[in-house]
Amino acid sequence: MGQNPGYINNIETGKSMPSLTGIFNICDYLGITPKELFDTETQNPTKASELYAIAKGLSGEQLDLLIALAKGLQK
What are the boundaries of each domain within the chain?
A: 1-38, 41-75
pLDDT of residue 54: 94
pLDDT of residue 1: 60
What amino acid occupies position 74?
Q
Report d(CA 72, CA 67) in Å as an integer. Answer: 9
pTM for the whole thing?
Answer: 0.55
Three-state DSSP class for residue 2: coil
Greater pLDDT, 53 or 46: 53
Report d(CA 6, CA 25) in Å as an integer. Answer: 16
* pLDDT beyond 80 at 3: no
